[in-house]
């Protein structure tokens, strides 16, 4: 008989799926690394489990302890799966720009959720970064995950996501495109693929209001680049240690409107019911058209599931309110 000992045994080994209609004008083959097949419906299941297992091994996470993390929702879901199986309490700190569905799902999984304002500096005590750090110091036997700077984040993708993509494409991949938030996925996958073939191009998808693209191109952290944006799960107003700019060949920025519209288009034209960052990612691929030839194989990673955005990108009233639909 074939079965997993628990739900954590089903993480990884997600399929590659060809994108057809939206990429019809591109000369290359575009394949989606479809991470919603993970049990928590996102790529973050991989690194959440890795970070917990590494923390257990090092002794910083002790039996019966409390896990505390600032999250945009998906890492929280991955942590919730592992926390439930392993017997930990989980406290998630989330910003108020995240969808209501994400908050509801985290609570449904047994997590305690604190919601913080988005439009404050990271150093502000009200920010979700600062709140998570504070709670971890105040609560006995607590461990602060810190996915932004935790090396186990990128390690998970170096050891699982990268090798899967290499094997699934028989080593023929020429470009990897992915939205960048904490930096773990692009850095871990990018490092693995570059070691296999240094000619593989690694492209990050950024959003307007985030610092990544300009910093990569100029080395300048420009606070004037920072302003509130709607796209979830990608972009940052900080420079996480997990972002290895040396393995990234370039960034392309996608607007909130394009990300939202292409999220809908993926569902309606490709039957791919995905999250907001997938819309940004596929639009990023289209914007990079001039970099592709007929012999190229482009893998784009789709992070999470559309069920977390039903009240937002899949709600036409919300889309009109934001000016994304006429």
Same domain, yes or no: 241 and 316: yes
pLDDT recorded at residue 314: 97
How far are the Cα atoms of 138, 233, 238 from residue 223, in angstroms, in the given order? 31, 20, 10
CB 199 within 8 A of CB 188: no
pLDDT recorded at residue 4: 97
Same domain, yes or no: 249 and 317: yes
Same domain, yes or no: 32 and 48: no
Average pLDDT (105-133) is 91
pLDDT of 118 over the 90 cut: no
Q: Is 213 a catalytic residue?
A: no
d(CA 118, CA 302): 24
Domain boundary among 111, 144, 177: 144
Domain boundary among 110, 144, 178: 144
pTM for the model: 0.95
The continuous run of DSSP H or E covering 203 comes out as strand 201-207
| Percent of residues, the chain, with pLDDT higher than 70 | 100
**Does residue 185 lie in a domain region?**
yes
Number of domains in the chain: 2
| DSSP codes of every residue in 248-284 | --EEEEE-HHHHHHHHHHHHHHH---B-HHHHHHHHH
Same domain, yes or no: 55 and 23: no
Residue-number span of the structural domain to which 313 is assigned: 7-37+160-321
Residue-wise pLDDT tens digits, 209-266: 999 999 999 999 999 999 999 999 899 999 999 999 999 999 999 999 999 999 999 9
**Catalytic residue (one of 44, 194, 201, 283):** 44
**Does residue 228 lie in a domain region?**
yes
């Amino acid at each position: 008989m074939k079965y997993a000992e628990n739900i954590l045994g089903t993480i990884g080994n997600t399929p590659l799926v060809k994108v057809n209609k939206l990429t019809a004008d591109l000369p290359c083959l575009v394949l989606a690394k479809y991470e919603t097949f993970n049990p928590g419906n996102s790529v973050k299941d991989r690194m959440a489990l890795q970070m917990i297992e590494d923390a257990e091994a090092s002794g910083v996470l002790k039996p019966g302890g409390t896990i505390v993390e600032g999250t945009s929702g998906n890492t929280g879901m991955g942590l919730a799966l592992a926390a439930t199986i392993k017997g930990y309490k989980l406290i998630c700190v989330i910003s108020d720009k995240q969808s209501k569905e994400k908050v509801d799902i985290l609570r449904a999984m047994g997590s305690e959720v604190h919601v913080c304002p988005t439009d404050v500096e990271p150093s502000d005590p009200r920010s979700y970064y600062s709140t998570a750090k504070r709670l971890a110091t105040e609560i006995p036997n607590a461990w602060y995950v810190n996915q932004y700077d935790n090396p186990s984040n990128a390690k998970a993708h170096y050891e699982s996501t990268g090798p899967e993509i290499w094997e699934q494409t028989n080593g023929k991949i020429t470009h990897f495109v992915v939205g960048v938030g904490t930096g773990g996925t692009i850095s871990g996958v990018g490092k693995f693929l570059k070691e296999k073939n240094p000619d593989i191009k690694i492209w990050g998808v950024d959003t307007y209001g985030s610092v990544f693209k300009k910093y990569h191109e100029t080395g300048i952290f420009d606070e004037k680049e920072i302003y509130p944006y709607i796209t979830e799960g990608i972009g940052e107003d900080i420079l996480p240690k997990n972002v290895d700019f040396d393995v990234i060949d370039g960034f392309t920025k996608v607007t909130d409107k394009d990300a939202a519209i292409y999220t809908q288009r993926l569902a309606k034209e490709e039957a791919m019911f995905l999250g907001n960052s997938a819309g940004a990612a596929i639009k990023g691929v289209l914007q990079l058209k001039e970099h592709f030839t007929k012999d190229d194989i482009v893998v784009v990673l789709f992070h999470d599931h559309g069920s977390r955005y039903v009240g937002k990108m899949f709600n036409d009233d919300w889309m009109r309110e934001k000016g994304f639909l006429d």
